Amino acid sequence: MRFTNLTRGAGIGSNCYRLDLENESVILDCGMHPEHAGHAATPLLEEIGEDSILTTILTHAHQDHVGCLPLLHARQPGMPVLMTQGTARIADIMLHNSVNVMTRQQEELKLTDYPLFTHRAIEMASRNWRHCPLDRPLTLHGERASEGAGAPTVTFHDAGHILGSAGVMIRAEGKKFFYTGDVNFEDQTIQTGARFPEEPVDVLLMETTRGNAPLPEGFTRAKEEKRFAAAVAAALEEGVSITIPVFALGKTQEVMALLWKMERERIIPPIPLYVGGLSSKITAVYDTMADRVPRNLPKLRLMNDVAPYVAGGKDVNSLNPRKRAIYALSSGMMTEYTLSNIFARKVLPDPTQYLFFVGYADPNSPAGHVRNAEPGSLVSLSASAPEIPFNCHREVFTFSAHARREDLLTYAVKVRPKTVLLVHGDDPAIDWFRRELYSALPETKVIAPPPGQPIEL
């Protein structure tokens, strides 16, 4: 068994890994870096030989795990791609949206190699997608594995991160290799916590997003929900609007469900909610799959029961914050050209407006700049536009879709891996896990795999 990290740079950016087995090779995720453009945003696909026999396994449909899949397909046209049904439904929407975004960027930024792939390429690639059930061993071609056959198998396990998300167990050569993908062990408003296998494994490939995010003493999600509800109620009492930058996939639906619960419990009055076009398409998938996936509130139909206003990309320029309304606009990192970035230009300078952060933001992203800005200072939302005065109210809440670091550590100790591969985290996050694992599992080899360098397992 040989493992290679195929992400182009270290850090939290994107995910793509290669696992070489005796007779076949597996690619785990094939993401696009959300903060880079063009070639720099892609994984090290040039390291994959044209003649390799490959299967690709996707853990979930966030752009940093799925965004470059059509590029991989172009190199390996017959390659099966294994994922849950929820991931397949959403990945299709995310990838087509990505072509539209890249086409716009081609015009605005004069990027000659954009779009990196076309709508047609996605259609071609999706013919080889296999919908995989949870908790059932499958062959690397996505068929039910027969017991005792000895061939490599893969099993998907609910990861509790977003709709369709899974960790994957690969059994091959008498070894067990488990990849967490992005995981959350705790219940969110919609998503129920991960149900991961707890048997010992040989190799654990683990995300480390929150390794540098200690929680305050006594923090609980329930208390954080109360703090959020009180802040929303207070802002609405003042008659102002609240802007919440959210990821279109996952965070939008969690925020919608949370607001719905707060309204039902009469903590806040019924309030107009605005979401973006991509968010509404993904929310519709959450609704149609509500009975078929592990989740809370299975009867809630967000598009009907919350009935948000949908603001398309063209509307956002003319959209102005109205009184007593909530704008849950993507993206969560307020990336340039997204709805939340454009809308924030109207919100930031206005001292009566409220801006609430509810999840992760890269410190180098526009959302990261605003989160760390001194009140009254100038902040940069775009490299190509002037800085903007930051005068609005700002509140930061912790509703992460990623596991708290202590929960990941507890999981690692439970499965007693011989080797842990630490990925998908900034340096301080990886360092925290490295230190804690050294003392909790002194026999375990702990590696932060450098990009492009094969590691024999």
Q: Which residue number, 62 or 89, has a Cβ lying nearer to Zn ion?
A: 62
Measuring CA to CA, which residue among 246, 253, 207, 206 is closest to residue 90?
Answer: 253
Tell me: cis bond preceding 115? Omega within 30 of 0 counts.
Answer: yes
**By CB under 5 A, which span of 26-34, 44-52, 182-190, 318-326 interacts with Zn ion?**
182-190
Nearest approach in angstroms of CB 249 to Zn ion is 8
Q: Which residue number, 165 or 341, has a Cβ lying nearer to Zn ion?
A: 165
**By CB under 5 A, which span of 55-63, 88-96, 303-311, 409-417 interacts with Zn ion?**
55-63
Name the CA dihedral angle for 429, 206, 133, 80, rounded to a multiple of 10 degrees. 110
Q: Which residue number, 182 or 254, has a Cβ lying nearer to Zn ion?
A: 182
Measuring CA to CA, which residue among 349, 341, 338, 343 is closest to residue 325?
Answer: 343
Q: Which residue number, 177 or 247, has a Cβ lying nearer to Zn ion?
A: 247
Q: What are the contacts of 284-288 at 24+ separation with CB within 8 A?
A: 285/86, 285/89, 285/90, 285/93, 285/163, 286/163, 286/190, 286/253
Nearest approach in angstroms of CB 116 to Zn ion is 20
Rounded CA separation 106/122 (Å): 19
**By CB under 5 A, which span of 57-65, 109-117, 408-416, 417-425 interacts with Zn ion?**
57-65
User: Phi first, then psi: what are they for 347, rounded to 5°?
Assistant: -90, -45
Nearest-Å Rg of the Cα atoms of the chain is 22
Q: Which residue number, 62 or 210, has a Cβ lying nearer to Zn ion?
A: 62
**By CB under 5 A, which span of 27-35, 61-69, 86-94, 136-144 interacts with Zn ion?**
61-69
**By CB under 5 A, which span of 124-132, 175-183, 362-370, 415-423 interacts with Zn ion?**
175-183
Q: Which residue number, 62 or 171, has a Cβ lying nearer to Zn ion?
A: 62
Q: Which residue number, 311 or 423, has a Cβ lying nearer to Zn ion?
A: 423
User: Phi first, then psi: what are they for 138, rounded to 5°?
Assistant: -125, 160
Could you say whether residue 33 binds Zn ion (CB under 5 A)? no
The answer to whether the beta carbons of residues 355 and 341 sit under 8 Å apart is no
Pairing of strands 166-172, 175-179: antiparallel
Nearest approach in angstroms of CB 77 to Zn ion is 27
Q: Which residue number, 65 or 346, has a Cβ lying nearer to Zn ion?
A: 65
Q: Which residue number, 33 or 62, has a Cβ lying nearer to Zn ion?
A: 62
**By CB under 5 A, which span of 133-141, 178-186, 194-202, 444-452 interacts with Zn ion?**
178-186
Rounded CA separation 182/201 (Å): 18
Q: Which residue number, 278 or 316, has a Cβ lying nearer to Zn ion?
A: 278
Nearest approach in angstroms of CB 399 to Zn ion is 14
Angle, vertex CA 192, rays to CA 191 and CA 194, nearest 5? 115
Of residues 355-384, those binding Zn ion (CB under 5 A): none
Nearest approach in angstroms of CB 118 to Zn ion is 25
**By CB under 5 A, which span of 73-81, 99-107, 181-189, 302-310 interacts with Zn ion?**
181-189
The CA-atom distances, in angstroms, between 448 and each of 8, 44, 432 are 14, 17, 12
255 residue type, one letter: V
Tell me: cis bond preceding 331? Omega within 30 of 0 counts.
Answer: yes
Nearest approach in angstroms of CB 35 to Zn ion is 15
Count of residues binding Zn ion (CB under 5 A)? 2
8, 18, 33, 62: which one binds Zn ion (CB under 5 A)? 62
The answer to whether the beta carbons of residues 347 and 311 sit under 8 Å apart is no
Structure tokens that stand for 189 in this block: 């408003």
Nearest approach in angstroms of CB 31 to Zn ion is 9
The answer to whether the beta carbons of residues 351 and 391 sit under 8 Å apart is yes
**Eight-class DSSP state of 313:** T
Nearest approach in angstroms of CB 324 to Zn ion is 32
DSSP letters for 205-240: EEE-TTTT-PPPTT--HHHHHHHHHHHHHHHHHTT-
Nearest approach in angstroms of CB 406 to Zn ion is 20
Q: Site mask, Zn ion, residues 384-403, x = CB under 5 A?
A: --------------------
Q: Which residue number, 82 or 235, has a Cβ lying nearer to Zn ion?
A: 82
Nearest approach in angstroms of CB 401 to Zn ion is 7
Nearest approach in angstroms of CB 40 to Zn ion is 20
**By CB under 5 A, which span of 33-41, 58-66, 143-151, 220-228 interacts with Zn ion?**
58-66
Q: Which residue number, 16 or 348, has a Cβ lying nearer to Zn ion?
A: 16
- Indicate the burial class of 241 (C-beta count within 10 angstroms; 0-12, 13-18, 19 or more): buried
Nearest approach in angstroms of CB 207 to Zn ion is 8
Rounded CA separation 137/28 (Å): 17
182, 207, 254, 436: which one binds Zn ion (CB under 5 A)? 182
- Which stretches of the chain bind Zn ion, using CB under 5 A? 62, 182
